[in-house]
Amino acid sequence: MWLAFIASVLVAGAMAPTPTEQLSGVTYRSSKPLAALQKCLTENLTEVGEVVAVRSDAETTTLVLRNIPDGPMTIDLAPPKVTVTSKLTPHTRHLIKACL
């Protein structure tokens, strides 16, 4: 019986998502105003793909990084919070942190 339990735990562990798949919903803090965050992130992320900004209201903007191999990535800017609401593309983490 224990052998079956251990085997099922090992199988479940092997099917666990990789760390990059778990990196959605990452939130950062920034003291910069919305306009400065949007400008910096747009400039940095255009090195990777096309950036489109959608302003929801006066205090929130969503950036969409498109045309990248890993699929689109979305970032909500609502200072002091900067939240990656989709899967975080690993090669963009340093570009985001540089703007905080």
∠ CA 10-2-6, nearest 5°, is 5
pLDDT at residue 1 in the model: 53
pLDDT at residue 23 in the model: 55
> What are the domain boundaries of the chain?
23-97
Tokens describing residue 100: 């905080």
Q: What is the dihedral of CA 34, 39, 44, 46, to 10 degrees?
A: 120
Rounded to an integer, the average pLDDT of 39-43 is 98
Mean pLDDT score across all residues of the chain: 82
- Residue 87: pLDDT band (50, 70, 90) is confident
pLDDT top residue among 23 and 84: 84
pTM (2 d.p.) = 0.75
Instruction: Give the whole-angstrom CA distance, residue 38 versus residue 44.
Output: 10
